[in-house]
Structure 1
Amino acid sequence: MLAAYAVAADAQDPLSALRVGEIEPPPVPDGWVTVQVRAAALNHHDVWSLRGVGLPADRLPMILGCDAAGVTDDGREVVVHAVINDPTYTGPDETFDPRRSLLSERHPGTLAETVRVPARNLVAKPAALSFAEAACLPTAWLTAYRALFTAAGLRPGDSVLVQGAGGGVATAAIMIGRATGLRVWVTSRDPGRGERALELGAHRVFAAGERLPGRVDAVLDSVGAATWSHSVNALRPGGRLVTVGTTSGAEPPSAELTKIFFKPLQVVGSTMGTRDELAAVLQLVESTGLRPLVDRVLPLSDAAAGLAALAAGEVFGKVVLEP
């Protein structure tokens, strides 16, 4: 089948580790369900995989991709939940499983004509959503939803600062936050992206690192080192800094420990979300009319172009591939 897959790891030139072509996927556990992929969305996770992060050489070649929407062999239209749990795990929250993985880490991913997943990892696709729209939700929108409501515990009327204005998680957080009654502020290094954030629903946009006119209840930070100090300083006493990524690196110049304990602040890590939270995201977009922002739709054969644009920071929203 046609797929986009990693054949090596290259930290400096990740696209050189990519191949797009015919591949026979390795076997998967008995009882998993086959999904004919109609659309798959790209994530920074795919670029990191090509760099070798979380994907050792003994698992190569590996089909990339976490997100997909498609059709099962019995005709059901579904969205794929990418968190794969250890079969022995029985806890209430899939993200707490220490042996969990994502599709494309231990098992073949979604950038292919078909993907196989445990039956529990399928959620019904709302009829109102296109396959391309639905494919954008399982990572970026799920991450944003969990960060805002499960990790930060925000309620209508609360305030949140979203660091960065263009990525999939950031655009999702802006749209979800505005639709659910939050006061949403955003930072951006690019005035053009800031204007687009306002169009998506942000109440105010500030330059990266700019002093804010007030302090917020929570900060959603997917940037990491470059924004860490600003995130800490933006919080009211008792506020929560929810970290969901480190696209600028994981080692800030200062950990800001004195401010964290003195204010006192809460620092909460948040990653992906549960299947039930994904179902809640689907219900939210269906009931509110929200739709994920799609930057571009490309054929699967052009996966390299989509990944190159993502790696270069040239997208606003999500890149979708269609087999």
Structure 2
Amino acid sequence: MFAAYAARCDPEHPLNGLELGDRPEPQAPPHWTVVEVKAASLNHHDLWSLRGVGLREEALPMILGCDAAGVDEDGNEVVLHSVIGATGHGVGPEERRTLLTEKYQGTFAERVAVPRWNLLPKPAALSFEEAACLPTAWLTAYRMLFTNAAVRPGDSVLVQGAGGGVATAAIVLGAAAGLRVFVTSRDEAKRKRALELGAEGAFEAGARLPHRMDAVLETVGAATWQHSVRSLRPGGTLVISGATSGQAPPSAELNRIFFLELRVVGSTMGSKEELSSLIDFCVAKGIRPVIDTVLPLAEAREGFARLARGELFGKIVLTV
């Protein structure tokens, strides 16, 4: 079958390890099933995999892709939850949880094998392309906002780095939930788009904000860390789920964190139950993932290059 896969890892030039071509058909062990992929979306996790982060050399070649929506063996339209082994379903009870592509072949292919437990019904209201955006970036944003930041309607939230999949998801979800959403970006066009999505204010990276925030969602890392900490009210919460600009800020701001009793919370993906709630929320509120580009799987390299350059606003989706 045709697939986009990591043939080798290159920390400096990750796209050098990306290849497109034939890979073996997936095999489904007991309690697993094979899903015909209709759409899959790109994440920074895929670029990190090509750099060798979380992907061991002995696991190569590895089909990339965590997210997908498709059709199962019984003809049901489904969405895939990307975390394998979270509860032992389909794998040994002692197996640590992993994302697809860390141990098991991913979704950038015509077909993928996953535990049956990892499938959720795709609502008719969502297209395959829209549904494929939810399991990683949108689920990450959902968990950051409603589980780990624990914000309520009327609370103010700062989203650093408007434009990426998690950031655009947080803007849309936050606005739909009645939050006061503020964003930063170096790109004027992205700031304007964020306002169109429902953000109350959009500012240059590092700019002074109109008031202190109840929560900050941080995925950028070193470049925005100081601004994130300094933007919180006393007792506020900083939720971090990524560090695309690096993990070593000029200052950790430890004095401010302990003196103002700030909460710093790590956040990774989300549970199957949270994904189900996210899907229901999108349908009930009529909100849809922001899609930057839709490409056929055969043009996956163009999508990876666009993601690596940071040119996107929303998600890049590959269709099969």
Indicate the TM-score class for this superposition, using the shorter chain for normalisation: over 0.9
Per-residue Cα deviation, 1:229-276 (whole angstroms, up to 9, x for no partner): 000000000000000100000111111111000001000000100000
Q: CA 1:88–1:117 in structure 2 vs 1: closer, same or farther (change >3 Å)?
A: closer
Per-residue Cα deviation, 1:2-61 (whole angstroms, up to 9, x for no partner): 100001011111111011111115655422111100000000100110111111110000
Would you say 1:58 and 2:65 are equivalent positions?
Answer: no
Corresponding position of 1:93: none
Question: What is the rounded CA distance, in whole Å, between the counterparts of 1:20 and 1:288 in structure 2?
Answer: 38
SS of 2:300's partner is helix
Corresponding position of 2:265: 268
The equivalences for 1:32-43 within 5 A come to: 32-43=32-43
Corresponding position of 1:217: 214
Report % sequence identity: 62
Question: What is the rounded CA distance, in whole Å, between the counterparts of 1:175 and 1:197 in structure 2?
Answer: 9
Question: What is the rounded CA distance, in whole Å, between the counterparts of 1:220 and 1:165 in structure 2?
Answer: 11
Corresponding position of 1:244: 241
Question: What is the rounded CA distance, in whole Å, between the counterparts of 1:187 and 1:83 in structure 2?
Answer: 30
Residue of structure 1 aligned with 2:131, choices 120, 129, 134: 134
Corresponding position of 1:10: 10
TM-score of the two chains, using structure 1 as the length reference = 0.96
SS of 2:49's partner is helix
Question: What is the rounded CA distance, in whole Å, between the counterparts of 1:125 and 1:34 in structure 2?
Answer: 16
Unmatched 5+ residue regions in structure 1? 90-96
Per-residue Cα deviation, 1:280-319 (whole angstroms, up to 9, x for no partner): 0100110111010111111101111100100110111000
1:124 deviates by: 0.5
Contact between 2:28 and 2:34, CA under 8 Å: does it hold in 1?
no
Corresponding position of 1:255: 252
The equivalences for 1:173-252 within 5 A come to: 173-252=170-249
Corresponding position of 1:164: 161
Corresponding position of 1:304: 301
Contact between 2:26 and 2:113, CA under 8 Å: does it hold in 1?
no
Corresponding position of 2:72: 72
Contact between 1:225 and 1:253, CA under 8 Å: does it hold in 2?
yes
Contact between 2:27 and 2:34, CA under 8 Å: does it hold in 1?
no
TM-score of the two chains, using structure 2 as the length reference = 0.96
Matched residue type, 1:108 = Q
Per-residue Cα deviation, 1:85-126 (whole angstroms, up to 9, x for no partner): 16648xxxxxxx982100011000000001111111111101
Unmatched 5+ residue regions in structure 2? none
Matched residue type, 1:186 = V
Q: Runs in 1 of length 4+ with deviation above 3 angstroms?
A: 25-29, 86-89
Q: CA 1:50–1:25 in structure 2 vs 1: closer, same or farther (change >3 Å)?
A: farther
Contact between 1:28 and 1:107, CA under 8 Å: does it hold in 2?
no
Matched residue type, 1:12 = E
Corresponding position of 1:94: none
Matched residue type, 1:9 = C
Corresponding position of 2:85: 85
RMSD: 1.3
